[in-house]
Amino acid sequence: MILRARTLVPVTAPPLEDGAVLILDGRIVAAGRWADVRPHASGPVTDLGDSLLMPGFVNAHCHLDYTDLAGQLAPSRNFTEWLKSIHAAKSAWGFSEYAASWLTGARQLLESGTTTVANIESVPELLGVCRAATPLRVWSFFELTALRPKVSPMHLVEAAAQLLQSSEPGRGGLGLSPHAPYSTTPDLLTATGRAAIEHRWPVTVHVAESEAEFEMFMYRRGPMYDWLSSQRPMDDCGLGSPVRALERSGLLNRSLLAVHVNRLWHDDARLLGERGASVVHCPQSHAYFHHPRFPRPELEATGTLLCLGTDSLASTHRPRDPRPRLSMFDEIRALAQTDALLEPQRILEMATVNGARALGQAGQLGELVPGAWADLTSFPFAGSPDAAVEAILHHEGLVTGTMIGGEWVSGRGSIPDSSPADAIS
């Protein structure tokens, strides 16, 4: 199969005019100019016409199961109070609400051009049902939260690993997610790190998200410290920053996707860069909580790989939009608006190839190169290649087609015209 489009954006190569992607057995064989790809190809051609064709987004942080909580929780500058309110909202839900919410989120991502998502699985029972019910490439990170574990952390992690391995394989991968340093214990973090190495799984953790978390770990004070001091041992507080808590537990390494990382202490950025950890920024969730400024320049200066995620719709507030949807387009637009110094190409990389690299999928996902999975998306575009990346940053709404592993999973491109007569030899 060949896809042809007016503009091709491979991400790791400059955008080009009259592009084509040759696909065989779900993978990309060639991506380049139509005139160069055509002589080496046979099979049906789908001409997408005046469209921009690019890799599907890699959403590096999401909670699909909270999608239907959209708009239910008022934005709050008090992160600790918000945590209490989401716990209350979740306790009113049963399995069917969570499952419906998870699948709605997956559909919204496909319709807005995301082909891979790193998803936090807080309801393990969903793994057996939801992964099989979506074509989306889902990296399922089993969420572990334990303030005073009744069983040993090692047993908790082993049980999680067993459940993950018995779940529907799906198209993505598996991982572990201790929720955050404040909602777990050092022993649980250490046990997670060991299990992840054993299984060769990535790990993702919310860390250094709020001022309250920073105060708790640095100074043994503040609203989070007061809230949790009767619920968990606090021996790990007063020893340094939240990032340092991960370092002490052996979690800072190339397999880590550290989520949020808004509050750094002294050489935290250097430490993250040296250990090869990735950081995931979620622009709309960040704005919702009025978190401290995202230290993008400091992290970038240390070579830390920066990725983008949607987080959940429970932490999204759009006053003029009563029905917000999960969309990476909305995240990149929000980032471009708040970080005017960041080049559009860097933003595009954060939303695609960087997330793929963070998941250990370099060369497989997030870019149009030979050997990668044919995970693509397209939307109408009739401008010049010079304007293509800006067009991605400004696109609003749905896409016209999303393909995963060489199959259309949402829409079929802008022109539903597959013409064997146009086949080439």
Minimum distance of Zn ion from residue 217's CB (angstroms): 18
* Closer Cβ to Zn ion, 2 or 308, answer by number: 308
* Closer Cβ to Zn ion, 110 or 257, answer by number: 257
* Among 269, 286, 272, 378, residue whose Cα is nearest residue 334: 286
Distance CA 32, CA 39 (A): 12
In the 3-class helix/strand/coil scheme, how is 278-327 assigned residue by residue? EEEECHHHHHHHCCCCCCHHHHHHCCCEEEECCECHHHCCCCCCCCCCCC
* Closer Cβ to Zn ion, 53 or 313, answer by number: 313
Minimum distance of Zn ion from residue 179's CB (angstroms): 9
* Dihedral angle over CA of 321, 323, 324, 325, nearest 10: -140
Minimum distance of Zn ion from residue 246's CB (angstroms): 16
Give, as one character, the DSSP assignment of residue 271: H
293: number of Cβ within 10 Å: 12
Minimum distance of Zn ion from residue 285's CB (angstroms): 7
Q: Which amino acid appears at position 49 of this protein?
A: G
**Window contacting Zn ion (CB under 5 A); options: 147-155, 266-274, 303-311, 408-416:** 303-311
* Closer Cβ to Zn ion, 311 or 349, answer by number: 311
Minimum distance of Zn ion from residue 373's CB (angstroms): 25
Backbone phi and psi for residue 219, each to the nearest 5 degrees, phi listed first: -125, 5
Minimum distance of Zn ion from residue 24's CB (angstroms): 37
Distance CA 135, CA 171 (A): 7
Site track for Zn ion across 305-324, x = CB under 5 A: ------x-------------
Minimum distance of Zn ion from residue 142's CB (angstroms): 14
One DSSP character per residue, 57-115 reads EEEEEE-GGGGGGTTTS---S-HHHHHHHHHHHHHT--HHHHHHHHHHHHHHHHHTTEE
Minimum distance of Zn ion from residue 178's CB (angstroms): 12
**Window contacting Zn ion (CB under 5 A); options: 22-30, 135-143, 304-312, 335-343:** 304-312
* Closer Cβ to Zn ion, 286 or 357, answer by number: 286
Contacts of 235 (CB under 8 A, 6+ apart): none
Please give the helix or strand (H or E) that residue 245 lies within, else none.
helix 242-248
Minimum distance of Zn ion from residue 356's CB (angstroms): 19
CA of 177: how far to CAs of 34, 253, 402, in Å? 43, 14, 28
Count interface residues toward Zn ion (CB under 5 A): 1
* Closer Cβ to Zn ion, 15 or 175, answer by number: 175
* Dihedral angle over CA of 76, 211, 278, 344, nearest 10: 60
* Closer Cβ to Zn ion, 47 or 311, answer by number: 311
* Closer Cβ to Zn ion, 48 or 280, answer by number: 280
Q: Is the dihedral of CA 362, 123, 67, 284 positive or negative?
A: negative
* Closer Cβ to Zn ion, 269 or 314, answer by number: 314
* Contact footprint for Zn ion (CB under 5 A): 311
